[in-house]
Amino acid sequence: MTDTVAVGTTGRRAGRAAPVGGAAAIGALGIVFGDIGTSGLYTYQQVVTTPDSRLDKVMVLGTVSMLIWSLFLVVTVLYVRLLMRTDNAGEGGLLALFGLLRLSGGGPRITQVCAVLAMIGAATFLGDSVITPAVSVLSAVEGIETFDTDLAGVVVPIAVVILTGLFLLQRFGTERIGGLFGPVMVVWFSIILVVGLLSLVRSPEVLAALSPHWIALLVAEQPWVAFVALGGVVLAITGAEALYADMGHFGRRPIALAWLAVVFPALVCNYLGQGAEVLRNPDAVNDPFWGLIPHWATIPTVVIATLATVIASQAVISGSFSVVHQAGRLGLLPRLRVTHTSDENSRQIYLPAVNLLLAAGVLTLVLTFRSSEALTDAYGLAVTMTIVITTTIYLVLRHVTRQWSWEFAVGAFIWVIMLFFLASNALKIPTGGWLPLSIGFVVASLMGIWSWGTHRLRRRLQDDAGTADYSIDTEIAQHIGAARVPGTAVYLGRAADIAPLAMRSMLDFTHALHEHVLIVHSTVADLAVVPAQERIRVVDHGSGVYEIAFHIGYYERFSVPELVRLACDEAPELARVDVAAAIYFLSDVTPHYRARTVVATWRQRVFIGLDRLAPERIDSLGLPNGRTVVVGRDVDI
């Protein structure tokens, strides 16, 4: 019979909170709001020049009203008020929301359907992460053409240099980048606020656009144009999902403060100012943003706008790091090497492999399409799909947990509106919308193959363990006469009460057992951070053999030696165990494919390729190289 002892841990490093206060709000400006904050460069021009539209007062005021109310409903209400209050231990984003749904116990069928939706949503977000930097930086650099058309030839080279520098900066972490970019974004939002107000003062009648009845008038007079225009309006809310995904980097309060006090008022004033400019001068419809800028200020504004769009790219890059990391911990993608860039906030991370892939994808788009206009139709569809899927999972979560309040009704109302946005953006598929769909399809397929392969691999190992009694107690009983050698051995297992492959192999080959044996296995929770008192559990199997089960949040930062030390410090049974000189035994399972049909073989090969992307387990688990023994095994999938 075994005794079970619950052990709490201090949770050092893993559970540190994101920063708060005004400095954090400025840092959030420098990371989170670059994308949505620079949308005014190109959005209104796309909306007001919708094909077959009739440029009149109703068109101008109606489109401005659509932009303002979209910002209010989608960003302020849906994301800041509803979604960001539905966090997973401080972590945000689509996959964090999906983790909460799995915790809610909504049933296997609902969970499976939402798992597919989560994979599609995460994949389309990553597709948007490739497009956003390309279109944002190109749109800003193209501003120099308004100063001198002869400079058009240098737009692409400048954009390539800027984007290359941005990706090289990622290794320094979002905290340092945010501290550098925050003041720049303060200047940027001040500029768009001031030029918008100056234009607004000259034509105050544009304030009528604050009333949503102009949207109804536009729908009544030009229904098809209003519907198609939604495909452009969605460009104003690109960055909303990055805002949610980056919540773990800064926390909800600094992001909400920055949005309500700075970003939202500046964007509203700027869109009103652009509308006023078009009312006064219909010829400005082809470039209403730059029409607000005096000629003498064009070059300085281009410089600030370029820096702002670099920051726009930073928002989705940081968000992509969070999404891929969450996907790895939730079993949707292989776990890639992660560098924690802050000792104060463990959620600020850098993934070198993701950074490299994004850089290659973004630079390829810039060199292929060569203008922001060519990429516009590819922009927005991925964001719309991600928002629709995120809202769907949010509503399912509230339904499963029976939280039917006004928030559920408001979320459902916005969800219906977003379906119209999605339908409008679907019209762009032949002219560029295929690009994010293609990227999303590839990423979602990789997620599906990885989930399939890990499930098969786990089942193969379980079937193998089921062919004989490989329980820990049985192994001890079968080798009761084994020689005992001094020291401590730590065996890393994969399941509770199953003797690890390395332990079975060492007993068969050496017929010896260390004086103290710690069998360690872990499970990843759907929570971002597991409460300290629930993190570790110790089971005494007798004869100096102990089983330690770790329950870790998918965003926690612990090495195996660190957790073993914590358990030994707090569990009385392990007080005499010397972990400083412990030998670690690791079972390394290598998947191999079995030739069957062409499709099955192809899928197996893809899974094996993904498996090789994962870092060495010795490094990812934090094991000491000089005191780790690896026992390998090939497994057919």
What pLDDT is recorded for position 180?
A: 67
pLDDT of residue 61: 96
List the beta bridge partners of residue 517.
Answer: 489, 545
Which pairing describes strands 512-525 and 483-492: parallel, antiparallel, or unpaired? Answer: parallel
What is the SS3 assignment for 507-575?
HHHHCEEEEEEEEEEEEEECCCCCCHHHCEEEEECCCCEEEEEEEEECCCCCCHHHHHHHHHHHCHHHC
pLDDT reading at 17 higher than 50: no
Q: Which among 195, 379, 390, 393 is positioned nearest to 304, based on CA atoms?
A: 195
pLDDT(421) > 90: yes
Pair 457, 635: CB distance under 8 Å: yes
pLDDT tens digits, 391-407: 999 999 998 888 878 88
Query: What does the block give as tokens for 221?
Result: 């007079």
**Predicted confidence (pLDDT) per residue in 71-102, tens digit:** 999 999 999 999 988 877 777 778 788 888 88
Residue with tokens 């850089």: 359
Q: Is residue 174 very low, low, confident or very high in pLDDT (cuts 50, 70, 90)?
A: low
pLDDT at 32 over 50: yes
Distance of alpha carbon 615 from alpha carbon 627, whole angstroms = 19
Is pLDDT of 469 > 80? no
| pLDDT, the chain, mean | 81
Helix or strand run (H / E) with residue 95: helix 94-103
State whether residue 205 is helix, strand or coil.
Answer: helix
pLDDT tens digits, residue range 544-586? 888 998 888 766 767 888 888 888 887 788 878 888 889 999 8
Cα separations in angstroms, 295 against 143, 221, 305: 11, 36, 15
- Can you give the pLDDT at residue 554? 66
- Whether the pLDDT of residue 5 is over 60: the answer is no
The pLDDT, as a whole number, for residue 328 is: 82
Predicted local confidence at residue 590, as pLDDT: 76
Q: Tell me the C-alpha distance between 389 and 12, whole Å.
A: 35
The single-letter code of the amino acid at 91 is: E
Task: Give bridge partners of residue 523 from the DSSP assignment.
Answer: 551
311-196-222 Cα angle (round to 5)? 100
Please, are residues 540 and 3 in contact by the beta-carbon 8 Å criterion? yes
The yes-or-no verdict on residue 528 having pLDDT over 70 is no
Instruction: Read off the pLDDT band of 179 (50, 70, 90).
Output: low
Provide the pLDDT for residue 68.
Answer: 97
What lies within 8 Å, CB to CB, of 627 at 6+ separation is 581, 582, 583, 584
- What gap in Å lies between CA 378 and CA 435, rounded to an integer? 6
Name the least confident of 254-263, 363-372, 595-604.
Answer: 595-604
Q: What is the pLDDT of residue 100?
A: 84
Per-residue pLDDT at 465: 55
CATH number of 42-428: 1.20.1740.10
N-term to C-term CA, the chain: 36
* 564-600 core/surface letters (b: 16 or more CB in 10 A; e: else): bbbbbebbebbeebebeebebbbbebebebeeeeeee
Percent of the chain whose predicted confidence (pLDDT) is above 90: 22
Tally of CA atoms within 13 A in the half-sphere of 493 that contains its CB: 25
Query: Residue 605 pLDDT > 70, yes or no?
Result: yes
Give the pLDDT of residue 4: 35
Which carries the bigger pLDDT value, residue 413 or residue 103?
Answer: 413
**pLDDT, tens only, 182-226:** 788 889 999 999 999 999 999 999 999 999 999 999 999 999 999
DSSP 430: G
Please state, in angstroms and rounded to a whole number, the distance separating the CA atoms of residues 488 and 582: 5
Residue 395: its pLDDT value, please?
Answer: 93
Phi and psi for 9 in degrees, rounded to 5?
A: -130, 165
**What does residue 471 show for φ and ψ, rounded to 5 degrees?**
-70, 155
Cα gap 176→566, rounded to integer Å: 31
List phi, psi (to 5°) of 360.
-60, -45
What does the pLDDT read at residue 169?
79
Q: Read off the pTM.
A: 0.73
Is 6's pLDDT higher than 60? no
Query: What pLDDT is recorded for position 73?
Result: 96
C-alpha to C-alpha distances, 584 to 305, 490, 616, 618, 622, nearest whole angstrom: 53, 5, 15, 10, 11
Task: Identify whether the C-beta of residue 326 lies closer than 8 Å to the C-beta of residue 44.
Answer: no
Question: 24: phi > 0 → left, psi -120 to 50 → alpha, else beta; which?
Answer: alpha
Max mean pLDDT among 378-387, 389-398, 521-530 falls in: 389-398
Cα angle 195-250-306, degrees, rounded to a multiple of 5: 35
Give the SS3 label for residue 226: helix
pLDDT at 249: 64
Domain ranges (residues) in the chain: 42-428, 468-636
* Tens digit of each residue's pLDDT (9 = 90 or more) over 481-498: 788 888 899 998 877 777
Strand (E) or helix (H) holding 175: helix 174-202
Place 13 in a pLDDT band, splitting at 50, 70 and 90.
very low
Edge to edge, what strands does the sheet with 512-525 contain?
3-7, 536-540, 545-553, 512-525, 483-492, 583-592, 628-636
Rg (CA), the chain: 28
Largest CA distance in the chain: 95
Mean pLDDT across 514-531: 82
